[in-house]
């Protein structure tokens, strides 16, 4: 289990994470939602130890160090591969460092996304680069898979097929923390939704419970964020008046 | 050995450019050493007068100080060492170019992986240049002290090197 206790992070006076407490048990698929700048990426980078923070983050009861960091993988839209290297050489590099690396997943997903093995990553399209990030995160053999906006640049068909494949291949002990804006798309495949707003956790809900209550995930998120339904009509009215 | 070397290079990093710089700087630094050889042999020849076909030592002549003859001729090695250290920064920068491969490097379970791949070879290259500088300094000084006639030597040559350099 990944556990965050009272985690706070500020960038030059601006609070990015404000006293965040959160647990991510094994075997869950968790959606992490929030507006741009809400703190989703900061939260993931804190878990990975990329940035300093106040508070405590543990992985199966231990602080995240080189001793246990291989239990976490990370797919990011910023990309974390070596642009000059091809996919096959990335596989070699991962296998060298992560003994749990799964060749079966790697080749299976490379074929699913129809990605070339011998071309340098820099020649991939943005969508292909994101796909490759996801492939490596899933193939590493980690127990906790963090994905930060992994589907940017991918068409809807690719994404939908990928969700199905993901659900099919995940082992019961694997946890996915998925940060995305594509709420409606992922609502059918996540088990839990965590909402973050201005660095604070403002919602943490079981998607099945929502369904039982007859509330959709998007409605729950709109309620939590105090979404103003009249926002569009007001804007149109103002804009139309201006033009008139 | 080849594997150990490969493990000290960042994946996809173009080591050829760094290697070429090392070789070129070594050749240029070595070439500058020849200037010292020329200066020393010229100064030594001036200690002698020609009596017909016979070379006779002028016991009143003084050999220029070693530090003056040496001048900047070994600086190339130290400058090259500095350039090799810049490659540590180049390698770290590579981890931020086009993608953030630094994220992957920081997730690796092996301790010191980033340091090893970014610093070990440039530090070794820099050390080679510093060692060359030191060995040649000692060698040139030994040649100076052994080959220069005692009558023409002025005392305190070793300390004069550091007076000039420091």
pLDDT in tens, A93-117: 999 999 999 999 999 999 999 999 9
Q: What's the pLDDT tens digit per position in A132-175?
A: 999 999 999 999 999 998 887 777 777 888 888 888 899 999 99
ipTM metric: 0.90
- The two tokens of residue B17 are 């450019």
E strand or H helix that includes residue A205: strand A200-206
Residue B109 to residues A48, A99, A102, B139, B163, Cα–Cα distance (Å): 12, 10, 17, 46, 49
Q: What's the pLDDT tens digit per position in A9-52?
A: 998 888 999 999 999 999 999 999 998 889 999 999 999 999 99
Q: Which of A133, A113, A109 is nearest to A121 (CA)?
A: A133
Q: How far is B146 from chain A (nearest CA, A)?
A: 55
**Which of B13, B105, B109, B111 has the most A C-beta neighbours within 10 Å, making it the best mutation to test the interface with A?**
B109
Q: How far is A94 from chain B (nearest CA, A)?
A: 9
DSSP for residue B136: H
* B110 in contact with chain A, both atoms CB, cutoff 8 A: yes
Q: pLDDT value at position B166?
A: 45
- Enumerate the residues of chain A whose CB falls inside 8 A of the CB of residue B116: none
Q: Chain-wide mean pLDDT for chain A?
A: 91
Q: How far is A233 from chain B (nearest CA, A)?
A: 41
- The phi, psi pair for A34, rounded to 5°, reads 170, 160
- The two tokens of residue A214 are 């007859």
- The two tokens of residue A160 are 């939908």
Q: Which of B106, B93, B114, B110 is nearest to B18 (CA)?
A: B93
Nearest CA in chain A to B10: A82
Residue A236 to residues A226, A229, A230, A232, B146, Cα–Cα distance (Å): 20, 13, 10, 6, 95
- CB-based burial label for A151 (10 Å; 0-12, 13-18, 19+): buried
* B159 in contact with chain A, both atoms CB, cutoff 8 A: no
Residues 6+ apart with CB under 8 A from A53: A7, A8, A9, A17, A46
- Enumerate the residues of chain A whose CB falls inside 8 A of the CB of residue B110: 66, 97
| 3-state SS class at A144 | strand
Interchain contact, B103 vs A97, CB within 8 Å: no
Interchain contact, A74 vs B103, CB within 8 Å: yes
Q: What's the pLDDT tens digit per position in B18-74?
A: 999 999 999 999 999 999 999 999 999 999 998 888 889 988 899 999 999 999 999
- The phi, psi pair for A226, rounded to 5°, reads 50, 50
Q: pLDDT value at position B101?
A: 96
- Which of B14, B109, B111 is closest, CB to CB, to A70? B109
Give me the CATH topology for the region A2-243: Rossmann fold (3.40.50)
Domain ranges of chain A: 2-243
Percentage above 90 pLDDT, chain B: 76
Q: Which of A120, A149, A131, A158 is nearest to B98 (CA)?
A: A120
């Amino acid at each position: 289990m990944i556990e965050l206790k009272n985690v706070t992070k500020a960038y030059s006076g601006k609070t990015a994470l404000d006293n965040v407490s959160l647990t991510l048990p094994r075997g869950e698929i968790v959606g992490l939602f929030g507006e741009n700048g809400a703190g989703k990426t900061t939260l993931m980078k804190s878990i990975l130890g990329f940035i300093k923070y106040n508070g405590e983050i543990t992985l199966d009861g231990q602080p995240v160090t080189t001793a246990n960091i291989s239990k976490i993988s990370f797919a990011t839209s910023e990309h974390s591969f070596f642009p000059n290297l091809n996919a096959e050489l990335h596989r070699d590099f991962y296998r060298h460092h992560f003994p749990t690396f799964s060749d079966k997943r790697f080749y299976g997903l490379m074929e699913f996304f129809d990605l070339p093995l011998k071309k340098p990553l820099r020649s991939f399209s943005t969508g292909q680069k994101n796909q490759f990030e996801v492939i490596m995160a899933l193939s590493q053999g980690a127990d906790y898979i963090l994905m930060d906006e992994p589907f940017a640049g991918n068409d809807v068909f690719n994404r939908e097929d990928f969700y199905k494949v993901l659900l099919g291949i995940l082992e019961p002990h694997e946890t996915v923390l998925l940060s995305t804006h594509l709420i409606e798309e992922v609502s059918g495949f996540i088990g839990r939704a965590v909402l973050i707003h201005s660095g604070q956790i403002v919602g943490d809900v079981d998607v099945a419970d929502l369904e039982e209550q007859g509330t959709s995930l998007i409605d729950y998120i709109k309620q939590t964020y105090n979404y103003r339904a009249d926002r569009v009509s007001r804007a149109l009215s103002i804009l139309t008046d201006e033009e008139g | 050995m080849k594997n150990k070397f490969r493990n000290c290079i960042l994946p996809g990093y173009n080591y050829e450019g760094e290697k070429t710089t090392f070789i070129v700087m070594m050749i240029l630094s070595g070439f500058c050493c020849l200037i010292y050889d020329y200066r020393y042999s010229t100064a030594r020849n001036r200690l002698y007068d020609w009596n017909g076909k016979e070379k006779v030592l002028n016991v009143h002549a003084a050999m220029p100080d070693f530090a003056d003859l040496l001048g900047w001729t070994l600086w190339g090695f130290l400058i090259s060492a500095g350039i090799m250290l810049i490659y540590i920064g180049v390698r770290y920068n590579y981890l931020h170019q086009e993608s953030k491969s630094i994220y992957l490097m920081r997730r690796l379970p092996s301790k010191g992986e980033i340091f090893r791949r970014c610093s070990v070879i440039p530090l070794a290259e820099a050390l080679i240049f510093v060692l060359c500088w030191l060995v040649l300094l000692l060698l040139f000084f030994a040649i100076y002290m052994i080959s220069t006639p005692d009558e023409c030597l002025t005392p305190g040559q070793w300390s004069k090197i550091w007076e000039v350099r420091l």
